Structure 1
Amino acid sequence: MKTNIIILFLLGLGINAGAQQDYLSREAYRDKVASYSQVLKQQRLNTLASTEARKIAMTGFLPKIDITAEGTANLNHLDMWNSPAGQYRPYTYQALATLGQPLYTGGALNAQKNMAKADESLARLSEELTMDQIHYQSDAVYWNASAAHAMLQAAKQYEDIVNQQYNIINDRFSDGAISRTDLLMISTRKKEAELQYIKARQNYTLALQQLNILMGVKPDVPVDSLSDIGTLCEPVQQLSFDEVLNRRADYASTEVNIAKSEAQRRAALSKYNPQVNMFLATGWDTGVAYMGQTVVHTPIAGLNVNIPIFRWGARFKTNRQQKAYIGIQKLQQSYISDGILEEFSAANTKLTETEQQVKTAKENMALADENLDLATFSYNEGKASMVDVLSAQLSWTQAHTNLINALLAEKMAVAEYRKVISE
């Protein structure tokens, strides 16, 4: 007997473990959607490309080595190809290896480096913003599927309630205890309940298809278990607006864009500053006309200096132009800040209001349950009319629908708040 108890206990553990594996939590669904998201993968590749672009910009500070070779032949004098030394030969050639090093580029290299760093930061922030949007989308789809399942259960329960009453009335009609009017009224309500269940089943099927597709699974793959729509919401962080701004990727992007615009201004002005470059070259060169002399190896060192003097005021106009672009970015930052404030205020309001909606909907559901029980009992006892029963049934299904919608609105309010605070 003791052995049997142990076996049953182990079997129970196995069943529970299997049920836990089949259960799909909101957090697990978030991870599945994020790992499959093609948009997020694109953003990550964009970040990788931006990182490589920054590394490329850094190479501008390093020496460069080039090897060049060139040869020409005068086709009109090919007969002089092997003429004696000191006489014209119809070909030339050169081969050079050059080491170049920029000494001062007017700030262009530093500006390009800073712009590349800004682009990399923007790519990372865009990836973070995409992740926030994916989390919100996955929460919305998840809770919509949970609500659709609750609607399906409510439709089934409503259909059972109507069928139960229909069976009672049909038996009474067969016994001649009631008129056909009551039977027709409950029959009509029975068909309405069947139609409501069919619609609920369709909505639930569509919600599951969307749930599966978003995480990269075939639409018809069954989902065994989701969190109930009535599950208590996890507490959210209560943050101030300044704290939210510091967490938002889109606001951080405005800071980076301002810095990038400043780097672009320096890059635009760099061409009006002095440029200094040095080079070392070595190789062989016959010259423009080759006279058959011995071509010697010639090392060369050079320094190139360019100082812009007069450009018709282009430098000052360029500076004003770039400062205008910086001003645009600062105004964009203010615009983004206002948008975040609007989202944050709306999210806080929805948190408070949806909590009250759920409370009221639960109270209304309790009243509808009591009203349906009372109306059904009274009708069965001959103390109420069929109209009272149908009205109570309608109130019950409406109350149940309102409760599920309120619970869904509460879940979506929490999801929206988490998106706003970038959680």
Structure 2
Amino acid sequence: MKITVSIIALWLCVPVLGQTSLADYRAAVADYSWQLKIAASKSDAAAETAGQARTGYLPRLAMDGSFTATVRHFDGVERWTFSLLPQLVQTVYGGGAVRAAARQAELDYGIALCDEEFSRLDVRYAADYAYWNLSAVELYAASMRQYVAIIRSLKEVVDRRFSEGYIAKGDVLMIDARLSEAEYSLVSAEQSYEVALHNFNILRGTDAALGVQLAQDIRDSLPMPGRVVAAEALERRPDYAAARLRSEQAEAGIRAVRAPFNPQLSVGVGGMWQPYYPNSTGATYVDGSAFVKLSVPIFHWGERRRAVGAARAVQLQQEWNAALVHDDIVREEMNGWTALVQSRAQVDASEESLRIAGENLSISTYSYGEGLATILDVLQAQLSWIQLYSNAIRAHYNYAVAVSDYQRITAQ
């Protein structure tokens, strides 16, 4: 019964000091994440680009100037001359280019925000994965330590019975071989824990070797999330929203490529400051002007038709890409829910199997001590217990990851 009690204690004990909760770890990973910083900088760049595109609606002030000095000198004429021409120009109609460019930039900013939100979902899932992976390998290492302790406890009984002449040397050799195998597996489990710890700490930007105690682990009862219908998942997913925005952006791109082939109308005022010609006295004058500029493309050998055709092809590609993303999300939701339900069922089945294996190990060990079972019976019970224990750990881990994955798929 001592073995059964130790198994239950190992499975139920929860660390209480120096805890790192899942919510705190998610926040730390998000604060450190270079992926999120890059996505945020892309959003900032898109916002500035959108502001830049809107300046196309405003009048523009420009100034042209020149200064010339001749090498040869003519009597009565200054060698130098200059001109300075400031102009204020307002585009009245640019063929729709300004409006299309501004719309494209606004949509690009919306796409960048969607991409940033999708990156946030990915980073959160990566944090969950690292957290649950560390919990799983920590529990597996603990189970291997318990497994080694169980075998060593049995070895003491075997050695005592062998010294008393009750068993043959073969039993001693079998338990020694099993102990050596268990110790080897323990070393591998400890190594896996160290690797998981390094990944855990690097993801949040701390010392890779820093020790940690988790406030939650895969043994905790994670609530079963409610199912999200595909239509709602589609509305939540930022990558699907970005795909639809790209389709709309491509539609604005058609107007943008058509604009240079439309009439262009602009008005403006300006003034020329320059010396008289020929420059004999150095005196200058200012001559103001107002103008209206109209440009009407007439024939470009089908360039407009082909440019618009290429833009329409791009727009169709973006529409089909949005449809592809739609189907991918529907498939992900269905597969994610199936994995969630199946992993939950595996948790329940593995718990029951582990309970039975623990009882069988306790009975086999006691029976061997009383001479009612062989060493093979005990070794088989030990092997069955550690295999079922590993299955239980894997089932809990798969369920925890499935919960996080389904939350990522449905953008919760």
Query: Could you state the TM-score of these two structures normalised by the residue count of structure 2?
Result: 0.93
Aligned to 1:208: 197
Hey, what's the Cα distance between the residues in 2 that align with 1:185 and 1:287? Answer: 114
Cα deviation for residue 280 of structure 1 reads: 1.0
Q: 1:50 touches 1:120 (CA, 8 Å); kept in 2?
A: yes
Paired residues in the alignment total 398
In the TM superposition, 1:43-122 aligns within 5 A as: 43-75=39-71, 77=72, 79-80=73-74, 83-84=75-76, 88-122=77-111
Counterpart of 1:24 (choices 20, 24, 30) is 20
Q: Which runs of 5+ in 2 are unaligned?
A: 1-14
Q: 2:276 touches 2:284 (CA, 8 Å); kept in 1?
A: no
Superposed CA RMSD in Å reads: 1.6
Deviations 1:73-113 (A, max 9, x none): 221x1x33xx43xxx44332011221111111010000010
Hey, what's the Cα distance between the residues in 2 that align with 1:143 and 1:124? Answer: 29
Deviations 1:95-133 (A, max 9, x none): 122111111101000001001111111111110111111
1:248 correspondence with 2:237: yes
Q: 1:105 touches 1:270 (CA, 8 Å); kept in 2?
A: yes
Provide the secondary structure at the position in 2 that maps to 1:166: helix
Hey, what's the Cα distance between the residues in 2 that align with 1:200 and 1:390? Answer: 21
Aligned to 1:172: 161
2:141 alignment partner AA = L
Name the stretch that deviates more: 380-389 or 225-234: 225-234
Hey, what's the Cα distance between the residues in 2 that align with 1:411 and 1:271? Answer: 56
Cα deviation for residue 190 of structure 1 reads: 1.3
Q: 1:98 touches 1:282 (CA, 8 Å); kept in 2?
A: yes
| Percentage of pairs with the same residue | 31
Q: 1:146 touches 1:226 (CA, 8 Å); kept in 2?
A: no
1:264 correspondence with 2:260: no
Counterpart of 1:309 (choices 298, 307, 330) is 298
Hey, what's the Cα distance between the residues in 1 that align with 2:367 and 2:226? Answer: 50
Deviations 1:202-222 (A, max 9, x none): 111111111000000011111
In the TM superposition, 1:155-170 aligns within 5 A as: 155-170=144-159
Deviations 1:156-187 (A, max 9, x none): 11111111111111112222222211111111
1:416 correspondence with 2:412: no
2:204 alignment partner AA = M
Deviations 1:136-167 (A, max 9, x none): 11111110000001101101111111111111
Hey, what's the Cα distance between the residues in 1 that align with 2:230 and 2:323? Answer: 14
Provide the secondary structure at the position in 2 that maps to 1:301: strand
Aligned to 1:132: 121
Cα deviation for residue 319 of structure 1 reads: 2.4
Name the stretch that deviates more: 220-229 or 254-263: 220-229
1:202 alignment partner AA = Q
Hey, what's the Cα distance between the residues in 2 that align with 1:201 and 1:223? Answer: 15
Q: 2:129 touches 2:401 (CA, 8 Å); kept in 1?
A: yes
| Cα distance change, pair 287–181 in 1 and its aligned pair in 2 (3 A) | farther
In the TM superposition, 1:384-403 aligns within 5 A as: 384-403=373-392
Aligned to 2:6: none
Hey, what's the Cα distance between the residues in 2 that align with 1:266 and 1:330? Answer: 17
Hey, what's the Cα distance between the residues in 1 that align with 2:253 and 2:278? Answer: 46
1:378 correspondence with 2:367: yes
Aligned to 1:284: 273
1:234 correspondence with 2:230: no
Provide the secondary structure at the position in 2 that maps to 1:285: strand
Deviations 1:42-84 (A, max 9, x none): 1101111110111111111111112332101221x1x33xx43
Q: Which runs of 5+ in 1 are unaligned?
A: 1-17
Hey, what's the Cα distance between the residues in 1 that align with 2:405 and 2:321? Answer: 23
Hey, what's the Cα distance between the residues in 2 that align with 1:413 and 1:275? Answer: 58
Cα deviation for residue 396 of structure 1 reads: 0.5
Cα deviation for residue 315 of structure 1 reads: 2.3
Hey, what's the Cα distance between the residues in 1 that align with 2:271 and 2:153? Answer: 101
Hey, what's the Cα distance between the residues in 2 that align with 1:61 and 1:287? Answer: 37
1:372 alignment partner AA = L
